[in-house]
């Protein structure tokens, strides 16, 4: 089955969560009107990233049963799409850097980022659950957040759980590493896709924020890791691609990833 | 410490093992004269890849204590370099698709390819040992062969064992997957390097052989995964790069790969 995927690379700001929210709603509608069946938004799409204080992080975060998520769910049901978005979520007295999967039937699941980058531990509690992989109306969709994907263990888990497409909300800060011919952030997405034969839609943000410059360059790859669409490195843009969802892990006449994995050796040598 | 690395992308043939051998010796000398301290040769550098028969595979293979390897060891000692090469090796009545690490003190270790591609199981016995990682006169060098590197579990093991540079003999058959902007084979090398903070020198072969076309595009990356040198996609070429060997796994002011790995979760969710 082939599905039309939209990745909305947005400019976000910690100083205007209402604008972030309004922008998310209008871009979801725009993407659906353009035929997108799956829409992916950036990491922390509600709150922005470069918080000025812990108070601001709390103020910008949502409750899982709050009105904003209710609005999103209505919109998703009305448009009959699947939405994956990064979100700052309040959980008791903690904050989580999360990703949600919503389809026409409602909220299908919530994932909390397990590998935290930079100053994130000052604001967010680390996740303790594996990548979320769930049956949606489009197929098996998985999600994790940004730095998580640099841990191939995490992507492998999603693949073994049956993910056909990984939707990854990200905020890729520019670390100064050379970006040519392809930014390393994108290279890692391509490799993760090709080594696991799953499609990936990675949605980055854009727009400088409190001294942080973003790689942007959101990308959609097919399950061979080939780039199908890549966004500007500096501005807001919704990119689209028609993506064939893989139905097996066959990568050659005599090769399939799961069968070729040497789990006997990985166990023997305690490789995790 | 920074070292000068040479990767010798050679045209090889199953029909002329003597030429393969002569070529290997002359290119080792050439690379050393050009200042290379580490020289990497392709997978099955002695035998070629596209065997016409099992008999031919045996005829083209070397004994570990044979005269050819003695010649290589003398050359390496004389030139005071480190050599990593792919080799078809005879082990009793079996053949192995192996990689050897040789330095001025002699043969440091032998690794047998654990993940076999295509028709290789018709000729070679699968390896049963982990990637070879060993202290050489230049630093901790690791090796595995071609398809092995598509298994991030395997690269992770080498990193955890302390490899500063992975030397990977390869024969990358062209699978018809789009090669722009960068061949996926190279993309996977870049990602493996960047996700493990180790430099990689991947030496492919070139020259069509029994209907097999090769990606070529041998590559040397630094420990950020940035390409430092890349070979032609169609001809013999020795590429060189000055590579800084990483001394830690720090990838940001508050991030280091080993510390950031969620081994607690990988264990809990049986991720291997």
Q: Could you give the CA distance from residue A123 to residue B230 in angstroms, rounded to a whole number?
A: 42
Check which CATH number belongs to the domain holding A114 and give it: 3.60.110.10
CB spacing of B224 vs A184 below 8 angstroms: yes
pLDDT at residue A272 is higher than 80 = no
Q: Which of B116, B195, B264 to mutate to probe the A interface, most A CBs <10 Å?
A: B195
The Cα of B215 is separated from the nearest Cα of chain A by a number of Å equal to 16
| 3-class secondary structure, A16 | coil
Alpha-carbon distance A91 to nearest alpha carbon in chain B (angstroms): 20
* Average pLDDT of span B245-260: 98
- Res A69 pLDDT > 90: yes
Contact A64, A74 (CB under 8 A): no
Tens digit of each residue's pLDDT (9 = 90 or more) over A144-191: 999 999 999 999 999 999 999 999 999 999 988 988 889 999 999 999
Tell me the pairing of strands B82-91 and B62-63. parallel
Distance from CA of A16 to the nearest CA of B (A): 28
Pick from A188, A253, A265: which is nearest to B128 by CB? A265
Residue B229 has pLDDT above 80, yes or no: yes
* pLDDT number for residue A180: 86
Distance to chain B for A162, nearest Cα, Å = 14
Q: Are A166 and A136 in contact (CB under 8 A)?
A: no
- CB–CB contact B157 A269 (8 Å): yes
Q: Which residues pair with B8 in a beta bridge?
A: B238
Q: How far apart are CA A6 and CA A27, in angstroms?
A: 10
Q: Per-residue pLDDT averaged across B79-93, rounded?
A: 97
Give the separation between CA A82 and CA B109, rounded to whole angstroms.
52
pLDDT of residue A254: 98
pLDDT at B99 > cutoff 80:
yes
Indicate the number of domains in chain B. 1
Of A151, A194, A263, the CB nearest to B188: A194
Range of the domain at B257: 2-268
A195: chain B residues, CB-CB within 8 Å:
150-152, 188
Per the CB < 8 A criterion, the answer to whether B60 and B14 are in contact is yes
What is residue B178's predicted lDDT score, i.e. its pLDDT? Answer: 86
What is the percent of chain B with per-residue pLDDT over 70, rounded to a whole number?
100
For residue range A74-90, what is the model confidence (pLDDT) as tens digits?
999 999 999 999 999 99
How far apart CA B268 and CA A204 sit, in angstroms, is 30
**Are B254 and A121 within 8 A, CB to CB?**
yes
Residue B132, pLDDT above cutoff 90: yes
ipTM above 0.95, yes or no: yes
The pLDDT assigned to B179 comes to 87
Q: Is B241 left (phi over 0), alpha (psi -120 to 50) or beta?
A: beta
pLDDT of residue A178: 86
Strands (E), A61-206: 62-63, 82-91, 94-103, 106-112, 132-135, 140-143, 165-169, 199-203
Per-residue pLDDT reduced to its tens digit, B134-188: 999 999 999 999 999 999 999 999 999 999 999 999 999 998 898 888 999 999 9
| A254 vs B119, B188, B272: nearest CB | B119
Give the pLDDT confidence score for residue A150 in this predicted structure: 98
Query: Best of A195, A228, A230 to disrupt the B interface by mutation (most B CBs within 10 Å)?
Result: A195
What DSSP character marks residue B2? E
Pick the residue from chain A with its C-alpha nearest to B157. Answer: A271
B272 pLDDT exceeds 80? no
Inter-chain touch A118–B255, beta carbons under 8 Å: yes
Residue B144 φ/ψ region, left for φ over 0, alpha for ψ in the -120 to 50 degree band, beta for the rest: beta
Strand pairing partners for A209?
A212
For residue A29, the distance in angstroms to the closest alpha carbon of chain B comes to 32
* pLDDT band at residue A64 using 50, 70 and 90 as cut-offs: very high
């Amino acid at each position: 089955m082939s599905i039309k995927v939209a990745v909305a690379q947005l400019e976000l700001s910690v100083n205007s969560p209402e604008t972030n929210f309004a922008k998310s709603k209008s871009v979801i509608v725009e993407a659906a009107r353009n035929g997108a069946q799956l829409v992916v938004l950036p990491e922390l799409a509600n709150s922005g990233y470069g918080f000025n204080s812990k108070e601001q992080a709390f103020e910008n975060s949502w409750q899982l049963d709050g009105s904003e998520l209710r609005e999103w769910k209505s919109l998703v049901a009305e448009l009959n799409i699947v939405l994956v978005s990064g979100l700052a979520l309040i959980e008791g007295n903690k904050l989580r850097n999360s990703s949600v999967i919503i389809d026409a039937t409602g909220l299908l699941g919530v994932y909390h980022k397990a590998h935290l980058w930079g100053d994130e531990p000052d604001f967010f509690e680390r996740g303790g659950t594996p990548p979320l992989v769930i049956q949606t109306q489009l197929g098996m969709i998985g999600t994790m957040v940004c730095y998580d994907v640099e841990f191939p263990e995490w992507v492998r888990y999603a693949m073994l759980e049956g993910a056909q497409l990984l939707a990854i909300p990200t905020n890729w800060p520019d670390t100064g590493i050379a970006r040519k011919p392809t930014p390393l952030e994108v290279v890692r997405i391509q490799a993760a896709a090709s080594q696991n034969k799953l499609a990936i839609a990675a949605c980055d943000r854009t727009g400088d924020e409190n001294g942080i410059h973003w790689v942007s360059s959101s990308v959609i790859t097919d399950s061979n890791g080939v780039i199908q669409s890549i966004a500007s490195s500096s501005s807001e843009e919704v990119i689209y691609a028609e993506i064939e969802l893989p139905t097996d892990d066959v990568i050659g006449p005599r090769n399939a990833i799961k069968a070729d994995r040497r789990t006997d050796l990985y166990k023997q040598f305690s490789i995790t």
